[in-house]
Structures are given as C-alpha cells and as structure tokens.
C-alpha cells in the first residue's frame, strides 16, 4: 500500500512539474466556461434550469476530451519508461510490478480528477455567480456528472496502460491509443447507428442493443448522464429513451466500474509477464 | 560463512542465444569482484538474473538467502544496483529523485543530502536531472545505488563517464563498503583499473564463465610468462641473450634495454644471473596484467588445448 502511494506521489509530482496538470485544468476550465456561456447565450434563459443545459453540453465534451487526455497520459506509462530505462531501475527496488501499475493509476487518476473538478467546477461556480437559480436536484446531477467523468477518465487510463503494457515500442502504443480513441468515440456509434438502420429492428432486440451500448464505455457514460436524471433528460432529448432503455444508473455504474477493472487487471497481468 | 550471492548451473536463453550458460559461482561477503568479458558476453544478463529482473531458463539463483525472482523483497532492500546506462525522469531534481528511491527502500529521506555531497552533486542537487551531463547522471546513479548501505552492490560499468577525481572517490566508497562486509560485483572494460582493486576476477566469454579467482590465482593457472626488462650499457647488451638464452626468449626494446620472457618459476634464476654478471644497470619485472590474463582466457577457450 505504501509503495503504491509513493509511486502515485511521484507521478503527481511529475505531472505538476511538466505542467500536465496545469494544461489539463486550463483546457477543461476554458472549454467548460465557454460552453456554459455560449450555450446559454442564444436562448437567453440563463436562469431557467441553466445547470441542466450545462450538464448536457459538458458531458458531450467529456466524451470527446477526457478519453483523449487519459490516453495521452497513460499510453506511455509502461513502454515509455521501459524504453527510457527508468523502469529497469525502479523494478530493482523492493516493489512489485502490480504496485508500480496501481501507483501510476492512482497518481494519474488523481491528476485527472483534480483537473476535472477544478475545470468543471469553475464553470458551475461562474454560472452560480451570474445569479442563476439552481436547485438541489441539478447540483446532484452535476456532481454525478463530474464523478462519472472521472470514472470515464479512469477507464481510458486503464485502457492506455493495457496498450502500454502490450506494445513493443512507444510509437506503436501511440498509434494504438489513437485507434482506440477513434473506435470508441466515433466509429463505434456510427457503426451501431448504421447497423440499426439496416436492421430495421428485425434482428437486434432491445436487449441486444443494451448490450451493444454497454460494450462501449462512452455510451454507458452518455446514458448514465443523459437519462439518469429526469430534469436533464428532458433537455437531452432522451426522455423517451430513458424510460425504455431498461438500463438503470446502477447497471450503468457497474458497467463503468467493470470497464476500469478489467483493462487494469489485464494490463497488470501483461506487465508482470513482460521481459525487461 | 554463507555466500551473499550463489548461482548454481544458471542458464539463460534469449531465443536462440544462450546469454549465460551453466554458470555456478558463490560470492562471500566482504569481497570485491570484477566481472569482465567482451561485449555481449553476458555480464549484464548475469546481474539482471541476480536482481530477479529476469528468470533463469535453468538453475537456481540465491541472493542474501532469497530467490530474487520469487517476489519477496526483503533482500532487495539491502541491495544496490547501478544499471549500465542509467536513466532518470528528467522533470525531477536530483534531490527529489533520491527521495523517491529512499522511500521505496524505507530509508530516511533526510540523509540523502549527505549522499549527494558524497558523489559531488551537492551544488547541483536542486537542478532538474534533464539538465545534467552524462557524468552527473552517472554520479546520481551511483548515489541511488548507495542508499541504505547495501550488503550487495551490483554495479554495471560504474566508472564509464566519471572524471578521474570521482573515479578515485568511487573506489574509495567501494573500499568502505567492502570493509563493512558488503559484496561488490562490478563489471567493467577498464581492466587496469580493476587489477589492484578486485579480490576476485570472473571472466565471461560468450555466456560461459571461463575463469573465477584472484588475479594471482589466475596468473598461476594461466602460466603466462613474466617479462623482465634489463637495462645495460650498450656494449654488454649483446651478451645478455647468452646468459639468459637457455631460460627465456629475448627481445631488444631499444639501444640499452632488452626484454626477457620467462616462466614464473624461472624469475629468480634470471635475477641471480643478472647479479652474477654485474653489467646490469637496471631491472624491471612486469607480471602478466589483467589484460594479458583476459586475452589468455579468451584464447584458451577458442582453442581448447
Ligand atoms: N532481452 C534480450 N533479448 C534478446 N537477447 C538479449 C537480451 N538481453 C541480452 N541479450 C543477448 O544476450 C547476450 C548477452 O548480453 P549482455 O547484455 O548480458 O552482454 P554484456 O556482457 O553486458 O555486454 P556489454 O559489455 O556490451 O554490456 C547478447 O548476445 C545479447 O544480445
Ligand atoms: Mg552489459
């Protein structure tokens, strides 16, 4: 346990030093702030359920951005340290490989959580300062949006580690990471949509569709945030889907958690088998 | 006394390459051991096996009574390692880097300042490692290997890139460690440097351990001739081959020096005769160097006699 914290501490220290933390926080805050105010300006209704509108737009932003940032931080974590030779030295110390992996995970998730809370929190704070009335339900929805965003980031950090533990060199790892991002964020949904259009509801049942949605963590995240709270789903145009989907927030959260655990376990296994 | 490092019939294969073949050795505490061999002889592989960073294909490795690859870490806390091309994260300072490694070994971080002074990095301790020169990185590498006064030190080409002053204090540090009972295994290509400092020399050739013993042991085993340089006045130089002729072979070095190669046991005879002949101005005895021994052991393996 102590080793995990030591490694996590070092990752955070490095992240602060090479300005990963700063850059990520500023990027998220900047985008969140502009979405908040640009998004509500045309409708002119800053006051009415303004935070719910923000949740909808921020969660769409998250789906694109957080996986990208997470993969950028994580794809290099194992293979990069091996290539640079720093891994060899660290593993000669009294520390297990699984501890190295978990330590990095804790550190990287902490960096991402810090940036998300601060960046998105700034947007909510700014909104509150403009005098918008926000009720408790909306705050809850907003908090769970931040929480699940961090979870989504953690998923892609774990996936990045798996790539990093398997890839032969850094270039391959970077290529694979980009491929994975494209797959989950763009291609998967497009392919699914195409499939549904072609199928016309003949073969793919509601249950199969649910399974297909859960197979992509970004879809699970989207469903969780856009259908989980009644107030939000009306704005997201998902009110209908929320009722029929049959995927409650618990199932979605469990799916997200599984998406963290599985790649992380596989990455730890792959790393422990890897020759130095 | 039980050995700190014990290898039995250790073989390590990388695909078709046998990097280490059936090596058995036992290194006691308080000994400085030089590991020499050509590039690709298996020196680094041997150290990685001792660290448990790679598993042996066959045979058993024991370091401080533990199998280092078994995932128990008690022994590793008392072990220092300097990899051959040491690398650090460039974003952190030397002080932060050492603090990290000290925490992993559960050593007090406060003591790291002294260690940095010891390797001459005191002034640069708060600079980012990315700005360091190669020799400074090597010094930092040495500092991290010294954390916690280890009982076993594995140093892979530790003096490459060190300036003469630090090279000197490096060997002082090694001496101190040995006096405290540490086993120090160091690989190097600088054979002359090791000659007086290592109690034991292990010579590797293409994965096989071809020699293991003190420099004197190896001299005895190798039976290499001793070279005796005799300086004499020019007119009596020609006579030298006559009186040493039956014992060794002579070679003229210049106008007043002749080099005689004789077997170890005939050394005294040559001395006696030089005294008897009285025409000798000066005399130097050059025993076979580690370089000579190294060449001999590599050769003798190529062409088994
Ligand atoms: N991970 C690896 N995969 C494949 N072959 C390897 C690996 N590590 C070492 N080898 C091979 O094992 C042999 C011994 O390598 P090793 O690094 O131990 O040599 P060395 O004695 O340290 O050489 P040098 O003096 O150049 O440092 C070499 O032929 C090398 O190519
Ligand atoms: Mg080597």
How many CB atoms lie under 10 A from the CB of residue B275?
A: 10
B84 C-alpha to ligand 2 centroid (Å) = 6
| Mean pLDDT within A145-171 | 94
- The pLDDT score that the predictor gives to residue B92 is 92
pLDDT at B128 over 60: yes
**B154 has which bridge partners?**
B81, B185
pLDDT in tens, B39-68: 888 999 999 999 999 999 999 999 988 888
Residues 6+ apart with CB under 8 A from B51: A92, B63, B68, B76, B79, B81, B154
CB B154 within 8 A of CB B48: no
The length of chain A, given as a count of residues? 276
* Residue B71 Cα, gap to closest chain A Cα (Å): 7
pLDDT in tens, A23-33: 889 998 888 88
B90 C-alpha to ligand 2 centroid (Å) = 23
CB A228 within 8 A of CB A252: yes
Task: Domain ranges for chain A, please list them.
Answer: 2-273
A1 touches chain B (CB under 8 A): no
- The pLDDT score that the predictor gives to residue A48 is 54
B104: nearest CB among A85, A93, A275: A93
Query: Helices A50-74 and A97-129 sit at what angle, rounded to 10 degrees?
Result: 150
- Reported as a pLDDT band with limits 50, 70 and 90, residue A165 is very high
Record: contact B53-A17, CB cut-off 8 A: no
Ligand nearest, relative to CA of residue B202: 1
- Which token pair is B277? 């002949």
- Reported as a pLDDT band with limits 50, 70 and 90, residue B245 is low
For chain A, give the percent of residues with pLDDT over 90.
43
| Site residues for ligand 1, CB cut-off 6 Å | A 275; B 14, 17, 19, 37, 39-45, 84
Q: What is the largest CA-CA distance in chain A?
A: 61
A94: nearest CB among B77, B89, B91: B77
pLDDT in tens, A29-73: 888 888 887 765 545 454 456 777 788 888 888 898 999 999 999
Q: What is the DSSP string of A216-249?
A: SHHHHHHHHHHHSSHHHHHHHT-HHHHHHH---H
- Reported as a pLDDT band with limits 50, 70 and 90, residue B305 is very low
- The pLDDT score that the predictor gives to residue A40 is 59
* Residue from B16, B36, B38, B40 to probe ligand 1 pocket by mutation (most atoms less than 8 Å from CB): B40
- The pLDDT score that the predictor gives to residue A238 is 55
Record: contact A3-B48, CB cut-off 8 A: no
Task: Give the span between the Cα atoms of B98 and B61, in whole angstroms.
Answer: 29
pLDDT in tens, B130-189: 999 988 999 999 999 999 889 999 999 988 888 888 888 888 888 888 899 899 999 988
For chain B, give the percent of residues with pLDDT over 90.
34
Indicate the helix (H) or strand (E) that contains A268.
helix A249-273
Main-chain dihedrals φ then ψ at residue B127, nearest 5 degrees: -95, 150
CB B18 within 8 A of CB B76: no
Q: What is the DSSP string of A169-219?
A: SHHHHHHHHHHHHHIIIIIHHHHHHHHHHHHTTSS--HHHHHHHHHTSHHH
Residues 6+ apart with CB under 8 A from A98: A268, A271, A272
- Which token pair is A224? 């969780």
Decide which of B284 and B128 is more confident. B128
pLDDT at B291 over 50: yes
B205 C-alpha to ligand 1 centroid (Å) = 12
Ligand nearest, relative to CA of residue B36: 1
- Reported as a pLDDT band with limits 50, 70 and 90, residue A242 is very low
* Residue B18 Cα, gap to closest chain A Cα (Å): 16
**3-state SS string for chain B:** CCCCEEEEEEEEEECCEEEEEEEEEEECCCCEEEEEECCCCCHHHHHHHHHCCCCCCEEEEEECCECHHHCCCCHHHHEEEECCCCCCCCCCEHHHHHHHHHHHCCCCHHHHHHHHHHCCCHHHCCCEHHHCCHHHHHHHHHHHHCCCCCCEEEEECCCCCCCHHHHHHHHHHHHHHHHCCCEEEEECCCHHHHHCCCCEEEEEECCEEEEEECHHHHHHHHCCCEEEEEECCHHHHCCHHHHHCCCCEEEEEECCEEEEEECHHHHHHHHHHHHHHCCCCEEEEECCCHHHHHHHHHHHHHCCC
pLDDT in tens, A10-26: 999 998 988 888 988 99
pLDDT at A182 over 80: yes
Record: contact B79-A18, CB cut-off 8 A: no
- Reported as a pLDDT band with limits 50, 70 and 90, residue A79 is very high
Task: Give the span between the Cα atoms of B297 and B286, in whole angstroms.
Answer: 19
- The pLDDT score that the predictor gives to residue A81 is 92
B19 C-alpha to ligand 1 centroid (Å) = 6
Task: Give the span between the Cα atoms of B104 and B107, in whole angstroms.
Answer: 8
| Mean pLDDT within A94-116 | 94
The length of chain B, given as a count of residues? 305
Q: Which residue has the tokens 């655990």?
A: A261
Query: Helices B134-145 and B164-179 sit at what angle, rounded to 10 degrees?
Result: 10
Task: Give the span between the Cα atoms of B167 and A132, in whole angstroms.
Answer: 70
pLDDT in tens, B233-244: 877 777 777 777
Chain A residues inside the 8 Å CB shell of B141:
89
pLDDT at B301 over 80: no
- Reported as a pLDDT band with limits 50, 70 and 90, residue A228 is low
Record: contact A93-B54, CB cut-off 8 A: no
Which of A53-57, A137-141, A226-230 is the least confident region? A226-230
Residue of A nearest to B76 (CA): A94
Task: Give the span between the Cα atoms of A65 and A59, in whole angstroms.
Answer: 10
Q: Which residue has the tokens 């199928």?
A: A199
- Reported as a pLDDT band with limits 50, 70 and 90, residue B298 is confident
């Amino acid at each position: 346990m102590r080793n995990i914290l030591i490694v996590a501490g070092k990752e955070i220290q490095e992240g602060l030093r090479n300005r990963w933390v700063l850059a990520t926080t500023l990027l998220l805050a900047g985008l969140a702030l502009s979405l908040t105010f640009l998004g509500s300006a045309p409708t002119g209704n800053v006051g009415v359920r303004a935070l719910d509108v923000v949740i909808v737009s921020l969660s769409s932003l998250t789906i694109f951005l957080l996986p990208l940032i997470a993969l950028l931080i994580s794809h290099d974590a194992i293979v990069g340290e091996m290539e640079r030779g720093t891994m060899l030295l660290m593993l000669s110390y009294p520390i297990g490989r699984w501890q190295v992996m978990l330590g990095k995970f804790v550190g990287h998730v902490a960096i991402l959580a810090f940036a998300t809370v601060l960046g998105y929190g700034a947007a909510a704070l700014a909104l509150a300062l403009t005098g918008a009335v926000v009720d408790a339900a909306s705050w809850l929805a907003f908090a769970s949006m931040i929480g699940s965003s961090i979870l989504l980031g953690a998923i892609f950090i774990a996936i990045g580690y798996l790539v990093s533990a398997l890839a032969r060199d850094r270039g391959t790892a970077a290529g694979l990471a980009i491929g994975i991002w494209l797959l989950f964020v763009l291609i998967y949904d497009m392919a699914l949509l195409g499939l549904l259009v072609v199928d016309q509801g003949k073969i793919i049942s509601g249950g199969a569709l649910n399974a297909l949605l859960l197979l992509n963590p970004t879809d699970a995240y989207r469903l969780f945030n856009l259908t989980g709270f009644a107030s939000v789903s009306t704005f997201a145009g998902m009110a209908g889907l929320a009722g029929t989907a049959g995927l409650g927030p618990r199932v979605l959260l469990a799916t997200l958690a599984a998406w963290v655990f599985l790649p992380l376990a596989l990455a730890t296994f792959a790393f422990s088998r890897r020759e130095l | 006394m039980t050995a700190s490092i014990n290898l039995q019939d250790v073989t390590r294969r990388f695909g078709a390459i046998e990097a280490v073949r059936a090596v058995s050795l036992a290194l006691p505490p308080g000994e400085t051991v030089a590991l020499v061999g050509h590039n690709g002889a298996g020196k680094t592989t041997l150290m990685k096996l001792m660290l448990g960073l790679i598993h042996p294909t066959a045979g058993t490795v024991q370091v401080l009574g533990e199998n280092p690859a078994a995932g128990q870490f008690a022994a590793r806390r008392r072990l220092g390692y300097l990899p051959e091309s040491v690398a650090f994260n460039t974003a952190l300072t030397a002080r932060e880097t050492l603090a990290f490694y000290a925490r992993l070994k559960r050593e007090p971080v406060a003591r790291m300042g002294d260690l940095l002074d010891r390797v001459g990095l005191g002034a640069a301790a708060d600079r980012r490692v990315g700005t360091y020169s190669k020799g400074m990185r090597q010094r930092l590498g040495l500092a991290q290997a010294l954390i916690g006064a280890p009982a076993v030190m594995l140093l892979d080409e530790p003096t490459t890139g060190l300036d003469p002053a630090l090279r000197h204090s490096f060997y002082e540090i090694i001496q101190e460690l040995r006096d405290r009972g540490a086993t120090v295994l160091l690989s190097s290509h600088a054979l002359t440097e090791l000659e007086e400092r290592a109690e034991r020399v292990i010579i590797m050739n293409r994965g096989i351990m071809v020699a293991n013993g003190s420099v004197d042991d190896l001299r005895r085993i190798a039976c290499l001739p001793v070279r005796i340089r005799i300086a004499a006045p020019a007119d009596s130089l020609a006579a030298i081959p006559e009186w040493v002729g039956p014992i060794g072979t002579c070679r003229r070095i210049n106008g007043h020096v002749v080099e005689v190669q004789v077997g170890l046991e005939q050394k005294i005879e040559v001395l006696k005769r030089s005294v008897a002949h009285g025409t000798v101005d000066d005399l130097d005895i050059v025993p076979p160097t580690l370089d000579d021994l190294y060449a001999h052991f590599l050769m003798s393996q190529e062409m088994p006699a």
